[in-house]
Chains A and B, each alone.
Chain A
Amino acid sequence: MSRLHIETTVNGEPAEFLCAADETLLSGLRNGLGLTGTKEGCGTGDCGACSVIMNDRLVASCLVLAAEAQGQSVTTIEGIASGTTLHPLQQAFLEEAALQCGICTPGFIVAAKALLDVNPEPTEEQVRYWLAGNLCRCTGYDKIVRAVLEAAGEMRSATV
């Protein structure tokens, strides 16, 4: 079976890879581009470990076909920090100890960024419901929610 040639934009840079017609974007990122920061926890869109932002929209990359990335723009965990500076969310996750095993962390950070992009001042309840599509089995979410609220505050004060 011949493979498809996909030209897309990943983390602001042009990128191309080959994929099968039935291959997921998650597989395209991990196997086609070597971007293994995006994780597979379930393959059914239930755990959020594979969260990426596609054209400003948060998606589970295990439920998107790789071919759908053609001509689109994808942001993965590898594109969240800018240069040598961590994103405030990444810094807050470190300072709040919001990760234990860390497998869900890339998905949470990408999902939380998508939240703060549309709602810079979320309430705790809004954070909890937005992140309800991301499973964490280690933390009980307490420190994750605190980290997101902390980062949101940090980002607001930086823009004033």
Chain B
Amino acid sequence: MSAPTFTAVGTRPIRHDGVDKVTGRANYGADLSLPGMLYGVVVRSPHTHARIVSIDTSAAAKVPGVKGIVTGKDVPLIDAKLGMGEGALDLKDLSDNALARSKALYHGHAVAAIAATSLAAAHEAAALVRVEYEILEPVLTVDRAMESGAPILHDTMTTQARPPIEQSGPTNVAGRMELRRGDIEQGFRDADVIVEHVFRTPTSHQGYIEPHACVARVNEDGRISIWTSTQGPFLVRDATAMMLGLDAANVKVTPSEIGGGFGGKIPVYLEPLAVLLARMTQRPVKMVMTRDEVFRATGPTSATKIRMKMGAKRDGTIVAASASLYYEAGAYRGSPSGAGAMCAFAPYRIPNFFIEAYDVVVNKPKVAAYRAPGSPMAALATESLIDEIATQLGLDKVEIRLKNAVQEGDLAPYGPPYGRIGFREVLEQVRNSDHWKSAVKPGVGRGLACGFWFNAGMSSSATVTLGADGSAAVVTGNPDIGGTRAAQALMVAEELGVPVERVRPSVADTDTAGYTDLTAGSRTCYATGMAVVEASRDVREQLRGRAAKIWGVPIEETRWEHGRVEPVNPSADRQPLTVAEIAAKLSKTGGPIIGRAAVNPPMAGPAFAAHICDLEVDRETGCSRVVRYTAVQDVGKAVHPSYVEGQMQGGASQGIGWALNEEYVYNASGVMENAGFLDYRMPVASDLPMIDTILVEVPTPGHPYGVRGVGEVPIVPPLAAVANAMADATGIRFTELPLSPPRVLARLLEEAPAAVGAGA
């Protein structure tokens, strides 16, 4: 297949929602206010693990201005699951997490919610809610959770295991799965070099700048409106309705602009509480989290412990690998350990492997998806070991990866053969890059690491309408987190030959848009984009019909060519018609034209990335700094290259933060001690250099333009890229993140106290 040529796709127009966003006009979750609105706040558990004995709200209810209070007993008990792509959301857990019934399972777990005429009154009342707790021993690590005799979080929990295992009473191990290939023992016997480490990564947060916020209103006829900052308005509709026993047909969700999500704005937290309070008070209720609440009660991603072992031949061929992954789920089942297991060895052709992955509950907030959930931690282990093997064997870090890299036809560790993928092309770009070829400066270490991520498909809908003036509008149901409106407009422009600035993209509410799954899984540009392309082609077909009518010929005698309708047999009175020319005659040829499409494509081709990191380490303080960084990625086809680069740069910097500084610091009781941006240290502008990007375009088969998802894989390599750079700079293999100055300095002092003391 020859590469398609593009006119609009691949250009860099100004995004259509841009002016609203640089002038402060764009409305985010907390920006809506309604007449008569109440303010809702959440009362949260001060204990990490406790049985709720009683809740007395009588004193709180007497505070002037308080209009409604809800506790766990106001939420119906349900037992339902909501299908969502690969997994299913357990609504009982989600409901319990939104408002605890019998047990508080983490510090910050919601136990009551209050609506009042002012925020001050709501806070005053919250302080007067008397909750009697029976305090239980908290479980704070996977090691403790899996010990016999450890406190059990859920009395009814059994291990969901593939393959099945023998169950022996309630457990904190929510899940176990394994993957295997070949003969692992023989593989290690054949190896010339074997490396093994235990890696640990801390609890870390998505860190979106906009806290969760919503407004709910309940009409007299039972119709419910929710305005909220979410990655999935249809999910909010369905989950909220199911949790509260409502008919989803009565619930309309309008997504606001969304101030970042990274997976963390998939779950519902505030929405069911706001609806309960609005129904109780018959007033609109607004709820906005504080940053402290965001840290304590939303997100984060799993802390992990990974034991991994890898064996290779002298020439660098990997012959065996094994891994045990333990991922904290937080208070309810659902860590991304399974995804971690599937991703860990996905970039490499390994004949013999065994991976087991555990999903373990602990007394921490229920984890939420975070950009390529589960994969970055697994990649830290894999890429560190490959780096160490290369170092031991004296092999080039790119060459050892190229030698083992998967290509089309190789089996993925989770089963199917890969289609057309661009991993080798990515590594070749690394090898040819200015960065890789440049000399490493003194005092600096250079690290290379790779990453893999699936790209979701799922369901999407789109409508494209053509105006009589030849302009077009496109409507979808995906909140635009990073430029997807612009990408969709480019696709319409590409298909219809309409200038991109004359295409109006919009994100609609759940009553208006056709069903569309989440803005997640790197799927929006791919799957929703596919719907947009098909809806545009539907318009094209209708345009051919109109041209046929104008010319008085059957539709077969028309064709779409050069961005216009051309007659198969041109004549003096049958000249090609542009979209604008046909549009001007719409009312005389049959009325308006609306194109529509609904799709449910399989996963897009997977994404591979490789990052190069130059890290300068101050041996006197243990402080390190990224001085040069290059991200290389197979993006399939970049629809709007600036926003593709932006995804790569943003993912890289999130990963750098995770590697160097970000972590939940817990005290012995399981209380987070750094629940603010001052102490939960995300990268700021002065921490980073420019992030260079190299876009590799190996088209995904099955997509009209070859688009792959691009949003998630950029966070997979950085943890290991930074750790490998640290190893190169210091000669020390760090296996626990973050590589914060105290941890690095302690190891430097341990390894060479005199040298450090001498300031060498």
B584 at the interface (CB under 8 A from A): no
A37 touches B24 (CB 8 A): yes
| B24 neighbours in A (Cβ, 8 Å) | 35-38, 76-78, 106
A97 at the interface (CB under 8 A from B): yes
A46 at the interface (CB under 8 A from B): yes
B678 touches A46 (CB 8 A): yes
The digit string for B686-714, where 1 denotes a CB below 8 A from any CB of A, is 11101100000000000000000000000
B259 touches A142 (CB 8 A): no
A99 touches B18 (CB 8 A): yes
The digit string for B479-500, where 1 denotes a CB below 8 A from any CB of A, is 0011100000000000000000
A143 contact from B33, B209, B290, B649, Cβ within 8 A:
B649
B209 touches A128 (CB 8 A): no
| B257 neighbours in A (Cβ, 8 Å) | 101-103
Contacts A77-B24, A138-B650 given; does A145 touch B259 at CB 8 Å: no
Contacts A131-B685, A139-B650 given; does A97 touch B21 at CB 8 Å: no
CA distance A44 to B676 in the complex (A): 8
User: Which of the candidate stretches A64-72, A88-96, A152-160 sits at the interface with the other chain?
Assistant: A88-96
A contact residues, total (Cβ < 8 Å): 57
| B418 neighbours in A (Cβ, 8 Å) | none
B263 at the interface (CB under 8 A from A): no
- Taking chain A's interface residues, is the majority helix, strand, or loop, or is none over half, making it mixed? loop
| A133 neighbours in B (Cβ, 8 Å) | 684
Q: Give the interface size bracket for B toward A.
A: 35 or more
A134 touches B28 (CB 8 A): no
A34: nearest residue on chain B (CB-CB)?
Answer: B33
| A101 neighbours in B (Cβ, 8 Å) | 208-210, 257-261, 481-482
CA distance A41 to B691 in the complex (A): 25
> What is the total of A-B residue contacts with beta carbons within 8 Å?
181
B643 at the interface (CB under 8 A from A): yes
CA distance A144 to B647 in the complex (A): 14
Which B residues between 481 and 533 are near A, CB-CB below 8 angstroms? Answer: 481-483
| B73 neighbours in A (Cβ, 8 Å) | none
B481 touches A37 (CB 8 A): no
B22 touches A44 (CB 8 A): no
B291 at the interface (CB under 8 A from A): yes
Most A CB contacts (10 A, CB to CB) among B23, B482, B678 go to: B23
A95: nearest residue on chain B (CB-CB)?
Answer: B14
Contacts A93-B22, A103-B259 given; does A42 touch B686 at CB 8 Å: no
Chain A positions within 8 Å of B, measured between CB atoms, are: 20, 30-31, 35-44, 46-47, 49, 76-78, 80-81, 86, 90, 93-97, 99-106, 109, 125, 127-129, 131-146
Q: A90-B19, A137-B207, A139-B649 are in contact. List 18 more A-B contacts (CB 8 A).
A: A36-B24, A39-B209, A39-B259, A77-B23, A86-B23, A99-B18, A132-B684, A132-B687, A135-B677, A135-B682, A135-B684, A136-B685, A137-B206, A137-B260, A137-B654, A137-B682, A142-B691, A143-B646
- What are 29 of the A-B contact pairs (CB < 8 Å)? A31-B33, A36-B30, A38-B24, A40-B30, A41-B209, A41-B259, A43-B290, A46-B678, A77-B23, A90-B19, A90-B22, A94-B14, A94-B18, A94-B22, A97-B640, A97-B646, A99-B18, A100-B643, A100-B646, A101-B209, A102-B21, A103-B209, A132-B687, A135-B682, A135-B684, A137-B208, A138-B481, A140-B646, A143-B649
